[in-house]
């Protein structure tokens, strides 16, 4: 059984400001290179390449994949480049619930658990926390599953998934 969901990450004001600044600097250096010095043309190309990288790495989506008792969290940049993220074996699952769920509160207070954030930033009410064994310890994974994904979790570990 295979299931996947894609969640686009919210762009902050700083990301939009940096994008606009890079584009304006590129235009300014190209314009100045016409009248002053050819070195400014090389600077314009470097700033243009930096703007390309900025646009590429700030357009992020998270892909949640569920396959054969394993859940994977990948990053997709600019809808074209995929960076393989974390993989978790659901046999090590301890709890999946909203952060305010009573059994989740002791886990949320612990500082020895590694936190991984795969949320979009758009919907704080749709965030779930998955406590799962990862490496030698535990991991706290924040993500935004849809109802179909929660049902898949519930089929694997019915007593550990809470809506």
pLDDT digits (tens, 9 = 90+) for 121-149: 888 888 999 998 887 888 999 999 888 88
13-37 pLDDT, tens digit per residue, is 999 999 999 999 889 888 888 888 8
Q: What pTM, to 2 d.p., does this model score?
A: 0.80
Contact partners, residue 115, CB within 8 Å, separation at least 6: 139, 140, 141, 142
Q: How many CB atoms lie within 10 A of CB 41?
A: 14
The pairing of beta strand 114-118 with beta strand 70-77:
unpaired
Element spanning 62, H or E:
strand 60-67
Element spanning 34, H or E:
helix 13-35
């Amino acid at each position: 059984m295979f299931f996947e969901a894609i969640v686009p990450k919210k762009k902050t004001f700083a990301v939009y400001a940096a994008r606009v600044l890079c584009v304006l600097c590129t235009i300014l250096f190209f314009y100045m290179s016409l009248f002053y010095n050819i070195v400014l043309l090389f600077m314009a190309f470097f700033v243009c390449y930096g703007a390309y990288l900025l646009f590429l790495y700030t357009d992020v989506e998270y892909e949640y994949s569920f396959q054969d008792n394993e859940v994977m969290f990948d990053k997709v940049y600019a809808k074209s480049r995929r960076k393989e993220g974390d993989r978790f074996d659901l046999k090590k699952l301890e709890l999946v619930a909203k952060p305010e769920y009573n059994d989740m509160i002791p886990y949320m207070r612990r500082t020895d658990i590694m936190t991984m954030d795969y949320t979009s930033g758009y919907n704080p009410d749709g965030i779930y926390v998955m406590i799962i064994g990862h490496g030698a310890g535990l991991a706290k994974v924040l993500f935004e599953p849809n109802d179909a994904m929660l049902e898949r979790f519930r089929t694997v570990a019915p007593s550990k998934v809470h809506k």
